[in-house]
Each structure stands twice: as C-alpha cells, then as structure tokens.
Structure 1
C-alpha cells in the first residue's frame, strides 16, 4: 500500500508541476500563434505573465488583426491593456474601419477608447448614420404667431473629433437655436408653414456640427404646429397694464382732489370762526361807546330800526316767500 500511495503522490505532483510549467510557459499559445502567422517570442509571453497581462488576450488580438491585414505589435496591445483600455473593442473597430475605408489608426483608436467613448460604436455610426429626434422647439414669428417645430437630424460620427468633441446634447441645442432664429426672422408664420425646408437650409448653412463629435448630414422638419397668438397676448397684457396704470393715476388725482376739498372746507370753517369772533366784538364795542358817551340811546334805536328794515327787505326778496308770492299776484 505504501509504494502505491507514493506513486500516486508522484503522479499528482508531476501533473501539478507540468500544469504550472505550461501556465508560466504557454507553449500551446505560442504554438497557436506560430500556426496563425503571428511571430511572437516565447519569452515575451512569460514576461507578460509577470507583468500581469493575459498572454491569451494579446495573442488572440494579434491573430485577429494579422488575419485582417493590420500591422499591430504585441507591445502596442500590451500598453493599451495596461492603460485600462478595451483591446478587443479597439481591434474590432480597426477591422471595421479598414473594411469601410475609414481612416483610423491604432493610436487614434486607443485614444478614443481611453477617452471613454465606444470606438467600435463610433465606427459603426460612421458607416450607418443615426437619426436624432429633437424635442418640440417653440418660436415666434414677427407677426406674433407661435410655431412649434420638431426636426429629425441625421448625423454620423466624426472620427477625428471624437476626442474632445461635443456630444448629441450640443447638436440638439444648436439645432434648436437655429430653428428659433429662423422662425423668429420670418415676417409671417405662413411663410414658414408654406416652406418648412427653408428652416433646414438656413440651419445647415450655419455649420452647427463644428467642434462636435458628429457630422450633420441633413436636418428634416418632421412637424410644425401653430401655437398661441403671442403677439395678441402681449398686447392684451400691455393693455391691462396700461389700464392699471391709468386707474392708479386717476385714483391719485381723485385723492388729491378730495384732499384739496377738505382743505378748502377747513379754510371756510376757519373763516366762519373769524367772522363769529368779529361779530362777538360788536356788542362789546357798543357797550364801550355807551360808556364813553359816543353813542346815544336814539342812535341805538335808529340802528335797530335799520337792521329790522334790512331783514324784512331780505325776507321779501327771498324766492318762495309768502310776501313774494302775494306781490306777484
């Protein structure tokens, strides 16, 4: 029993040793690369292990690129992997770009990939343009009528602008700005409804795709709806505002008039008080005249008669008095 157990341990140890040797020295992978026409040193595969780079990833990428006619070295692939890039995605993008005659080299592809963009999707977008639907854009023509337009923007990726270029949001914002500007410069909303393609021509002529990661191929107006009569609404609001201002000014003038009337009444009351005060001085003056001998009793009676006669004449002269009616008869 003891010799057989030792043999089993020896066999297991040999298998483990061989597996470990083949893992450190990937002969099968090297042999596959040689059969595929990829010239790579076996020592480089061992060093890849030590640098924590999967040799299978590098070899498979080199096999794929070599079969596609691309000249990419193992050092370039290894460097991109260590930089955190997606090697397989870059290789697929290079192959697609080469087949579609799109100028794209390994350096630009890795830069796009490391910038966070999907380089393979970008190449596909260059071959198959994408249609972007803009949200409803509201604008007002010079005649005050609001128009609500929707557009379809056909774009394709601009490979050379993918690094540092603006995205779809910028395209939508610029197209919306162009639509608002074009409708706003139109004399009448009827002109826009009759020729909606005029919006597309004006917007396209502005070069809205400059500095973006896309190239605008066409802008098509999908729908235009008539909104509110903004001009009439503004005039109505202005009229209401003017009415409020006029009412406020009228109320101010009325308040001034009321204040002036109250002031005049106060002055009249003050004048009456002064008259009453002056009349109160008459009896005192008469008494003083009697004491000083300047006024006699007969003079006083004559004055009383004159006052009575004056009051009688005033009563007769009043319209509607009984004496007046008798005289008329």
Structure 2
C-alpha cells in the first residue's frame, strides 16, 4: 500500500522557499554595489568622528566651558590641538581666563592669544609667571607687553620678581656677606686712617634694560669701588666722620647703574668704624725695613773687612814662606862657592 502525502504542503512550501532565496540574493546584490559600499564607509567614518569628538568633549568639555563662561576665547579645536602638540591645556586655559578677567588684551591679532601662549609654553617658558607679571605691571601702570615679558622669561630672568622690584624697591647690602663673606668695606684716607664702612643700596628694576643688563653683583662692585675711592680722596678721616653724606653724593653722581638691570634709588651709609692707623704702621714698617737694610749693609762691610784682613794675613804668611826659602838657599850657595873655589877660607 503506497503512503499518502499531502500535496498541498509540498506545493505551498516550495514557492516560499523560492521567494526567500530571491530576496536573499537581492540583498546580497545590493550590499555589494559601489554605492552601498561608499554609504557604509561614510557612515562608519561619521560614527568614528562622532566618537572621537565625544571623547575630546568629555575630556576637555569642562575646560572649554570654563573658558566660554569667562570669555577667554579658547575653542574646542584649540584644546584638541594642544592634546596632540603636548601642551598642557589647563595652564593655557587658566592663563587666558586670568588675562580676560584682568582686562588684558586677548585678541587673536595683537593680544595674548592662545597660539602665542602655546608657543611660549613649547619654548620652555613659564606661562603662569609671565601672566602674573603682566597683570601686576598692568595694575601698577608699568608698561610691559607679552612679547617683552616672554623674552625676559626665556632669557632666564624672573619677570615677576622684576615687576615686584619695580613696584617695591629692594635693599642690597654693600658688601654682601652672603657673596663675599665680608661685612664692611675697608678704605684709607689721605692721613692714613682706616675707615670700615657698611652701605645699603636701594634699587628698583629697570625693565627696559633687564635683558642684557648687569646683575646685582655689578651694582655691589661699582658702589664698593666708588665708596673706597671717595674715602681715599678725603684729606682726613674727621671730614668723613663729620659728613658721611659726602660719600653718597659722590657715588650717586657717577651714574653707577648704567648698563645694568637696576636703577639706584639711594645709597645710605649704615655704619662707619675707625680702624687702624695704616699710615703710622706703614711708616713703622718702612723704618724697620730701612734698619734691616742698614744692618745688612754694615754686615756686608764688616764681612768684606774681615775677608780683606784674612787676605792680608795670607799674603804675610806667603812672604814669610818665601823668606824662609830664600834663607835656606844661602847655605847651599855658600857651599857651592867653597866647592868651586870662589871663596877661600881665611888664613890662620
């Protein structure tokens, strides 16, 4: 007996299978078309860009929002650029925010722009120190632009300390015990009296000459030299003790701050002590030296006299020896004469 099959199921399933295969082939054909490939690549690129932007926005969104709220003119593109150029965006954003809040010019054309801050950072400069110095100078109405401040910073000088010294002058001891180990300057007047002086020099920074200008050591050396010279030109030490400001007047009139990074405000004599009588000591030493020279000459003459005496004694001894030799030859000559018959014995 033959098995009975359902002809309806066989007929209905076959068209469905044929339709599914047709749809699958159609989709595969569409997927492999050039337009579909380009669309898929563009979609993947868009997704990648969105992911990258999302990453940077999550990382630098807070800084960008801080700059935006402070009207600091820092774009998100600049923050992304700092990421790839190894620039610390926190420093740049903080500097721009401080500049904007202080009322400085932060325009991109001629102000403290983000690009200029990045360039100074990459050059190894201290961005925050420069901004602090410019703000301090702006508050004190001291002319100082970003280019000048950055040049001073890159030259190795502390630009913030320079501005602070311009506003609040500092005092330099002359001599400086920390540098020379001495506490006083020693100078001698014309009458030979030693005076020991300690001076204090008040200076403020000359920002225009800060690059290439001489340092504090030059100021100390020049002031010390001028003080010693002015005391040395005094006739007596009494004049210096009675009128110490004669030293400061002479020193200030010489323009000792030329070609230096400082401007001398004042020179004050802190203390004057009377030292030794150098003139008398020098005269005593000279007299002693003259005495030693005279003694040496006398000793030389005595030695020469003794040598001459010994020489004469040697000559006397030599003459005596010649006399003895001559006397010894007399008997020999007489014997020779008797033998030769030149001399006869006297008759008895």
| TM-score between both structures, scaled by the size of structure 2 | 0.74
Displacement of 1:115? 1.5
Aligned position for 1:11 = none
Aligned position for 1:78 = 118
Aligned position for 1:88 = 128
Displacement of 1:156? 0.6
Distance, in Å, in 2 between the alignment partners of 1:68 and 1:262 is: 103
Contact residue 193 and residue 274 of structure 2 kept, 8 A: yes
RMSD between superposed Cα atoms in Å:
2.5
Displacement of 1:269? 2.7
Q: 1:297 to 1:227 in 2, by over 3 A?
A: farther
Distance, in Å, in 2 between the alignment partners of 1:269 and 1:41 is: 120
Contact residue 286 and residue 295 of structure 1 kept, 8 A: no
Displacement of 1:87? 1.3
Aligned position for 1:318 = none
Match of 1:180 among 218, 228, 245: 228
- Alignment of 1:158 with 2:206, yes or no, is yes
Displacement of 1:216? 0.6
- Alignment of 1:116 with 2:160, yes or no, is no
Distance, in Å, in 1 between the alignment partners of 2:257 and 2:186 is: 22
Displacement of 1:106? 0.4
Distance, in Å, in 2 between the alignment partners of 1:152 and 1:265 is: 76
- Alignment of 1:56 with 2:90, yes or no, is yes
Contact residue 153 and residue 219 of structure 1 kept, 8 A: yes
Contact residue 206 and residue 261 of structure 2 kept, 8 A: yes
Q: Deviations over 1:174-205 (max 9, x none)?
A: 11111111111212122211111111111111
- Alignment of 1:265 with 2:305, yes or no, is no
**Count, aligned residues:** 282
Match of 1:65 among 73, 82, 99: 99
Q: Deviations over 1:47-77 (max 9, x none)?
A: 1222122333222211211121211211111
Contact residue 84 and residue 114 of structure 1 kept, 8 A: yes
Task: Say which is worse superposed, 129-138 or 38-47, in terms of deviation.
Answer: 38-47
Aligned position for 2:284 = 236
Aligned position for 1:20 = 55
Match of 1:29 among 63, 68, 72: 63
Distance, in Å, in 1 between the alignment partners of 2:74 and 2:53 is: 22
Distance, in Å, in 2 between the alignment partners of 1:180 and 1:65 is: 48
* Ranges in structure 1 where 5+ consecutive residues have no aligned partner: 1-15, 299-329
Aligned position for 2:75 = 41
Contact residue 86 and residue 113 of structure 1 kept, 8 A: yes
Contact residue 48 and residue 55 of structure 1 kept, 8 A: yes
Contact residue 159 and residue 213 of structure 1 kept, 8 A: yes
Query: What are the residue-to-residue correspondences of 1:120-199 with 2, within 5 Å?
Result: 120-135=160-175, 136-199=184-247
Displacement of 1:84? 1.3
